[in-house]
Structure 1
Amino acid sequence: MPSNIPAVGFGLWKVPNDVCAETVYQAIKTGYRHIDSASDYGNEKETGEGIRRAIEDGLCTREELWVTTKLWNTYHNQENVVPALEYSLNELQLDYVDLFLIHFPIAQEFVPFETRYPAAWFFDPEAENPEVKLAPVPLSETWAGMEATVEKGLTKKIGICNYTSGLLHDLMNYSKIKPSVLQIESHPYLTQERLIRLAKHYNLEVTAFSPLGALSYLELDMAGAQESVLEQAAVKAAAERVGRTPAQVVLRWGVQRGTSIIPKTSKPERMIENLSLFDFELSEEEMNAISALNSNRRFNDPGHFCEEAFNTFYPIYD
């Protein structure tokens, strides 16, 4: 098992089920050794098929892969955490994952696996006015369940997604098994420098999702094409100097600032491009110019999308 999370991973959010197994297989064939999955993505089974075929074909061993999956909001009760990971492992056809993350600091009412999997956001999608049904579960209780998954050998490491500084301070005070990774949205429009600095102070690795910013959200109407960071002058100038694409420059910025990144693509040429970040370097001036694009623009914000898409107001960021 890699001792540290590989710097460039392959993200599986929004990868369609009918192409997911082949996409995962091709990603591993291209050289990816970090696979970022989640119950909520609805493609764990296909992800597992791609991993299994890659291992059977000798592209890698299980020990050479870093596989992440995530605890969905409906499984926050302590007694549901271990069964949730066991269900994910069955879908993934794995004995363990390398990292298990709390997906959101949001507790929803339990939805039995046999009722619906993945459980998604609505408690009852068939209701006349479906909504998110929240549950009064403290995060400390959820974390105790996460610790049990380590003790049972179901995961090597545990961590959190979408936590704020205050939640991270609190977690470090009550956790017996400390988190290893914090996964957050971060890109040049949302640099999150203080939160990343705090995580590293606590010896957490940081993974940035949506490292290209708006590109992940155009198809969901959660961003406009004019918000593409790839069109920014600072990015284009750096790309011209180093002879790389603007996307490679933005991804290199993410890696060079000390975060791992999980870009997603189904195109073989982009898979290669997104991995090819380690034979060039951005100057300090270029890094600073790209960081200066920060406008605290968050694309993945439950405070917006829960109300707009799921009829429930539930902000987690101030």
Structure 2
Amino acid sequence: MTLFQPLDERRPLSGRLALSVEYDGSAYCGWQRLKHAPSVQGALEAALAKVANHAITVHASGRTDSGVHATRQIVHFDPPVPRSQKAWVFGVNANLPRDVAVRWVHEVPDTFHARFKALARRYRYVILNQPSRPVLERANVTWCRDPLDADAMHRAAQALVGEHDFSSFRAGGCQSKTPWRHLHFIEVHRHGPLVVVDVQGNAFLHHMIRNIVGALVTVGRGERGDDYLAELMALKDRTLADVTAPACGLHFVDSLYDEAWGLPAEPLGPNLLAFLGEWTGERALPDCPMVEFRRGRPVAASVD
């Protein structure tokens, strides 16, 4: 698989389009457009409007919090005018701030929806674990000066795999109607000074991953044992749980869709972890009602 795909500049694209967007969230209030603060959605829609000479609204695979980054945020929109693949990618990037970029554009059927057709979302939380504060990586890692036991963090995290009530890990202002989520996997590995929490699920509650990481760091420091995350989850009470980890270490790295949509595959980010060599879509999704439902297959059970 190659990173360098030629962009067609002759054939105008028609119908619904999907985009992959990468951004450094440091300067933004998050993904969702707001009237009182800069957002990634607002920046992207403004750039698309300049290329199309019309207002455009985009729909994303998921929302990210203030300060959170993304390397594969999938969005879709219905273009009011035809433009070539090259015009959409190069034209939009020319009008975006330097901390946001479109990676590719792809034609999709009108039945595609970036949010409602997503089978899973994946995040990576990156901790720089060394005595001195980060310099070159300071905007996209969280620094922990205390030695962390990544193996203990991994063992503690396995209690979260599966479908559970994650009330202890949701923010107080979370607007989700249900605290139940299905975690497909969560892994914690050390790569030199980097400790990486890699997690995938059907969806996530507000601050859920950052709250999980805050508790895992407590385990990694040796302050609590392997059962700590299971104990917190059983409480179903955020006020009795641990701290929220900073936003700067969190990266939205993948939205997974059925292969039938034909979305381009690309290496999982952030580029700081490119040495891991994993591409999107390589891991099998769990056999669960929500995945089957969104693939368009009949299911006997209710969807999550």
TM-score if structure 2 supplies the norm length?
Answer: 0.27
TM-score, normalization by structure 1: 0.27
More helix by share: 1
More strand by share: 2
- Asked which structure has the greater RCO (Cα within 8 Å, sep 6+), the reply is 2
